[in-house]
Every structure is written in structure tokens, then in C-alpha cells.
């Protein structure tokens, strides 16, 4: 076949391939060539379908992977915030004693479960945070929801309360950096 193709190319393509095959009638050679073209077209179509199926499988695998990764990250972040219910809600220290470099000392007349969860979340998500690794608000909100037993919204987002709590514990420097800190102007309207 390659000899015939080479001869046809050298001859300028004006003569038929069948003229170079000794003992084969031109119409038989034409039918064989048509069958070969048809077979090659089917083979190309089959390969195209296989490539399309592989692309679909790859996209599905990537989607499942990212979904699983997101769910596992939320579970991991939630476990960081969770504490056993039998643990005391607050550690008692004598007045005026604070751990240097460990945050701010706040004296409260009492501690609620919500405040305890918020303080734990604040410590878990923001204590060792830097600009490059700030946690996503959605992850913090989902962790707070799970710890407080709040239901997520119908679209899968954290509850509005969880979102509000996550926003309340988000450091001001992060809000300023991502333009989420909305201040009212004084002397305005």
C-alpha cells in the first residue's frame, strides 16, 4: 500500500492507485479503498467516543475528589473546635493571672455554651493564623453550627447564626484585608 501511495504521489496524483497494482481491476481496488476508508472512519469515531468517555470520567473523579476533600476539611475543622461535654466549660484562674503571649484576659460574670464554643473556635481557627493561611468563613461557620447543633440552610450553607458568629470572631485585620469590614461614615447623611 505504501509503494502504491508513494507511486501515486510521485505521479502527481493524476493516475489511479489501481493502475499500479498488477492484476487488480480498478473498480475492485476502489471498493477496497472505500472499505478501508470506512473502517478507518469507524475506528476514529470509536477513539473519539473513548476520549469523550475518559474526559467525563476524569471530570467526575475530580468533582468527587474536591467534594470529598471539602467535606473532610470541614469535619477536621469541626473536630478541632469540639470538646467533650463533660469537660469544664471554663478554666478557673486567680484574678490577675494570665498566660503571657496567649491572648487577652476577659473576666465574665458567667459563661454560656455559645460563648464557650465561640472562644474555642476563635482559638482553634485564629490563634496561629497568618495572612497566607486564613481559614475560610464557611468552614468556621460550619464548625460552629455543628458544635452548637444548628442546622445548615437548605442550600448547604452554614446557618445564618453560624455565619454571624463566624463573622463576629473574624479578626479585624482580616476583615480590613478582604474589604469585609463595613463601617458607617460619621457625619454622613
Average pLDDT over residues 67-75: 82
What percentage of the chain exceeds 70 in pLDDT? 67
pLDDT given for residue 14 in this prediction: 44
Residue 122 has pLDDT above 70, yes or no: yes
* Burial of residue 50 (number of CB atoms within 10 Å: 0-12, 13-18, 19+): exposed
Domain ranges of the chain: 2-52, 105-184
Residue 68 has pLDDT above 70, yes or no: yes
**Chain-wide mean pLDDT for the chain?**
75
Reported confidence tier of residue 90, pLDDT bands at 50, 70, 90: very low
Q: Which three cell numbers stand for residue 27?
A: 473498480
Distance, CA of 137 to CA of 163 (rounded, Å): 7
pLDDT given for residue 36 in this prediction: 93
Residue 86 has pLDDT above 60, yes or no: no
Residue tagged 475543622 (cell numbers): 77
User: In whole angstroms, how large is the CA radius of gyration of the chain?
Assistant: 35
Residue 154 has pLDDT above 70, yes or no: yes
Q: Which is higher by pLDDT, 3 or 40?
A: 40
pLDDT given for residue 47 in this prediction: 94
Range in 7-21, 73-87, 166-180 with the lowest mean pLDDT: 7-21
pLDDT tens digits, one per residue of 165-187: 998 888 887 777 666 545 555 55
Distance, CA of 164 to CA of 158 (rounded, Å): 10
3-state SS, residue 41 = helix
Residue 41 C-beta-side C-alpha neighbours within 13 Å: 6
Residue tagged 454622613 (cell numbers): 188
Q: Which is higher by pLDDT, 117 or 83?
A: 117
Amino acid at each position: 500500500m505504501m509503494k502504491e501511495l508513494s507511486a501515486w504521489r510521485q505521479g502527481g496524483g493524476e493516475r489511479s492507485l489501481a493502475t499500479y497494482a498488477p492484476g487488480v481491476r480498478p473498480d475492485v481496488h476502489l471498493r477496497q479503498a472505500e472499505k478501508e476508508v470506512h473502517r478507518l472512519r469507524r475506528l476514529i469515531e470509536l477513539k473519539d467516543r473513548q476520549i469523550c468517555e475518559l474526559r467525563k470520567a476524569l471530570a467526575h473523579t475530580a468533582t468527587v475528589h474536591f467534594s470529598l476533600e471539602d467535606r473532610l476539611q470541614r469535619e477536621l475543622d469541626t473536630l478541632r473546635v469540639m470538646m467533650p461535654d463533660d469537660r469544664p466549660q471554663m478554666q478557673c484562674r486567680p484574678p490577675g493571672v494570665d498566660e503571657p503571649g496567649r491572648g487577652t484576659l476577659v473576666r465574665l460574670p458567667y459563661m454560656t455554651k455559645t460563648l464557650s464554643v465561640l472562644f474555642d473556635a476563635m482559638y482553634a481557627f485564629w490563634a496561629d493564623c497568618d495572612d497566607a493561611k486564613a481559614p475560610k468563613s464557611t468552614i468556621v461557620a460550619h464548625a460552629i453550627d455543628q458544635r452548637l447543633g444548628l442546622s445548615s440552610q437548605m442550600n448547604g450553607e452554614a446557618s445564618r447564626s453560624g455565619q454571624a458568629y463566624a463573622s463576629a470572631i473574624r479578626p479585624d485585620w482580616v476583615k480590613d484585608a478582604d474589604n469585609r469590614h463595613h463601617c458607617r461614615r460619621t457625619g454622613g447623611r
